[in-house]
Structure 1
Amino acid sequence: MELSTGEIAKIKMLDNGCSVTTPVTLQVISNLQPFGNQNAGAPLRFRCMASDGEQSIVMVLPVHLTALVDEQKICRYTVLKVQRYNFTKKKGPNDQMMSFIIVGDAEVVGTATDKLGSPEKMGMSAAAPSAMAAPQQPQQQQTQSAYQPQQQPQQQQQSYGSSSFMSRVEESKPSAYSGGGMAPVHSGNAPILHPIKDLNPYHNRWTIRARVTQKSAIKSWNKPNSQGRLFSVNLLDDSGEIRATAFTQQVDRLFPMLETGKVYYISNAQVKMARPQFSTLNNQYELTFDDSTTVEQCVETAGVPQEQFNFIPLANLLNHEKGSIIDVLCVVRDIGDLTEITPRNGPTDRKMIKRELTVVDRSGYQVRLTLWGQEATEFSLPKDSIIAFKGIRVGDFGGRTLSLPSIGTMTANPDISEAHMLRGWYDSTGRNSTYQTYDSAASSAGSGAGVRQDQLKTMAQVRDENLGGSDQPDYFTVKGTVVFIRSSSLAYPACASPDCNKKAIEDSMSGQWRCEKCERTFATPDYRYIFSVNVSDETGHNWMQCFNEIGEKLMGCPASEMVRLQQTDDAAFNRKVTEATFQEMVFRCRAKSETFNDNTRVRITIMNMNPVDYVAESRRLNKLIESFSI
């Protein structure tokens, strides 16, 4: 059991509040003294004197080692390997500077029968560095505990740490502004906590205990009137989640402190209205870190949940509209090379870097997934890795696709039960499986060779097979003609906030429109399509529901334009409706039973539609005819 000789002399020369992650081996050379106000609900902790064989220092143990003290596994003469700690200086009695370390984590090496080496008394800790390095003479009463001052001269009693000083050890906290390193470990009584779900701009004295579930890379912006950097984290406690962002001045200080998966006490941040375009969390507020924000690592993490996912099987992507934000858990089947593209609507000299992955899951589908920018260039995982994507966007470019936006994150090989099950399945079965794809024909409901015969239905088959009549939705493709559009009510007034889409209510007094969900008021709403069409083929017809994306494809203009025409120009409005009628299309549909006022009926919703590809349709019909040939 060799001690880290000479390390305490180096520790005492560190800056106040410095966080250290280099392990150091020290010996407990005193009885362990409990502290903390148990009556106030503070957790029990212990302090002691620690030695490296040459010098000694006060050491405060973390809460999670209290049980080892109770079991006598940590006691006088126990040797500990301290994995990480914070160094703190504080004035003690007679204005003498006292030094001590607050341990973040440590492991027991063993327990000796006596003190190792010849550590100096703590009263010499203020000596000059040259004196510290000088050979030390053995002292009398080496085994005397520093917490038994009745056996020491009165002057040394204060130097070793009198009760007036040591009773305040728990009140000392490392500086929260020691940027460039780990967050200081919280010491002392646990603060009064505030649930994340109750944070609001009108209450500014609060402390949350939250786990960092996501942490973005540092990003820069450079505009004509401003420039700077930022990063953001998602914080989770048992009441909910909230996004927090640090800007320019706070990036260097807080970015090294906050680590994904760890739990922190956080206070004194600004609470503002959330900007939905930058967050996928279900919270109307977000935090902004500033100069007064304090961040301290919390060792006691019981009761703080791990990151939460709501995984969607790849086979169910057609259930989600283009632009939807979802979570997926998948296996990387193939990794594409880095490529550069020019944005369609951006400047020609601007380039975007992307990398395409092919991913699969247990639902039997494979999907093209695109990484952008830094995530694309830094991607280094091998094939067959399992990745949990949170906040990934659904697209329909050439069929259903996925794309990781800046607000999303990916976690490689997460330690969760779903990932372990996926790994077991893939290694035993999935590696050699054949997967269905969302190619242009199948996913976009186009007709031809890409449409599986068991997916393409006639209206009679939809009725006879009772599609949508079970508890689970059914999906099918049908080729038909729009014979009637219910145009009396084509759209509804929606909230103008991005990604909200909730119905807005007009205030008859002011003429303003208000969204109750966002608690915002607008001069005009953003109209969105919702209407029914009757689609017919040679075997029958069905009523189908259209939402905004399908409505824009069918009507050829945004819903706000149709509402304007309906209110100002009947002839132009009717002409638009007529042009949309009697179009032959291929529809990808979802059929699901719905119950309202004790009446159950099957509702068919159009998920996607495209004009008929008559060349591909001719080939499909030719193959169908050949299959019946004798």
Structure 2
Amino acid sequence: MVYKKLSELTSRGHTWNIKVKVTRLWDSATDELLSLDMILMDEQGDVIHASIWKKLIDNYKTQINESSVYVFSNFKVQESQKYRPVCNDLKITFMYNTKVKQVKETAESFPEYYFDFASIDTLQDRANKDQHLSDVIGLLTRMKPIETRMTRKNTPNPRLAEIREIELLLLGGDKIRLTLWGQLARFFSEDVIGNQTVVIVTSTTVQEYIGLSLRSSSATRIYTNLHIRETWTLIDRQFSEETIPKMMEVDKSTQGTREEQMFYNRKTLKDITEMRHGNPGSQEFVFTSKVTIDRVQENIQWWYRLRLQISDHTTSTSCTIFDDVAQSMLETPVSSLLNLLDGKNDEIPNIIQQLCGKQLIFKFKLSEQNLTEGTPNYVVKRTFVPDYMLEKQYLINKAEEELMDDDVDNILKQDRETDQQQELEDSDQEIMSEDELTSSDKPPSCKQIRRRTYIIEDDSEEESNETSMIKCVDAKVRGKNAKGAHAKPTKAEIRNDNYSHEINKSVVQESIKAGKRQAKTINGIGKESSVEKRKKTYVQPDNIACNTRPQRTRKMNSKCTDSA
């Protein structure tokens, strides 16, 4: 029997016979099984994509196995329109009368693997297009723990899916992130961390927003450390500590409750648009902001992305929302909107035009261009509908934090002044001790009496400092409240004044004092007892004349002078 080479097939005729090896076999599915697909390879190494549609799967599935050799005849050849897993413009489709015959010979005469590795330039050309699926090879450099995501939110069958994000160092030295979905998320175990690993990932889709990234498909297959030429080339070229896999942290902006995510890193648009960073690749820049949609940009492929002009009370800018996030925001599948337009795809549906004037919370992820060049068109990762009570509570909490920060600054300032005063007193005390040692028989001078009298006051001064500190803070609070006296206070502000603020102040004050006392004890300063101070400052019962006017002292000082 004469077999046709795959390179000789055309889209005209159905009577060819081909002898091929099934190199890969997989189920194509979304919510349900769509087709059984395979990659066929002849002895010359040429390949073609073949599909068996859903209605015929049961007729052929048991007859075809991966890595086996078959003779196929009576099939249809047609142009491949979307998601080509191989570099071939044609595709084989099985019909009801397609013949399948297994050949009892080994597959050694056929190449073992087929890959079409894409360079970074090729990936750039394929970004956000559905014509090709891409194979990549690279050294595993980083990997995130497994996360869960809700998929198909706007369909009758929403479901949770597992994902894992990995990072690969490609042959050309470029790094790219790849998200593995479903069962592929569990392909790598944490044992791979610390061990240099060459990874091959086939049939990925390419996306470009917030940088270039890849995503697995139902046709994706993963291989590690295959004995092929590209593996050894990659190891020889990129061997360094940088290529040892490490574990990445989970994106905190996706963790927690919905309410927590709504206020994650809340910023104004002015804060976001003015943000700059010299090395944005070292971390992620994710923020939320409450915005108003001013305008929907026209003359774009709205079914693929929406470009909006937005603003808040600080400034305005533009942003882009891609299909998945847009469908979630509109709560309507794009396919339904296209059906309503009846082929007039250039028109923007009313449901999109009605977004103008609405207030929403956008979660932005800033790209390298946003941070280094200051370009607009910020990408929106998720949208939320504002909750009035949550927004009100957020503003109250923010006001409390700002007030607490002012109180802490004021208390710290007073403590610094107290420390400086204490240092002066300690130096005076040292001078006085030296005077006592050198002239113990001489009557004390008026200046010495003043110094000693002042030191006695220090015993009660700590309590007075504490009291004055609290009074200063209270005065600060009353001063802030007086500024807004003409404004009608809210219930939350009244509750705050009555209870929570006083507790917060006392906690801050006690924490600062405790740390201060502990530092003094460590430095060996300590606090002298009242008895020791009385001994040092006791005035001898001599009739000492003083030409200066006596200082006014407190109760304790008067007792000492009376006894004298």
Considering fraction of residues, name the structure with more helix.
2
Considering fraction of residues, name the structure with more strand.
1
State TM-score, norm by structure 2: 0.43
State TM-score, norm by structure 1: 0.39
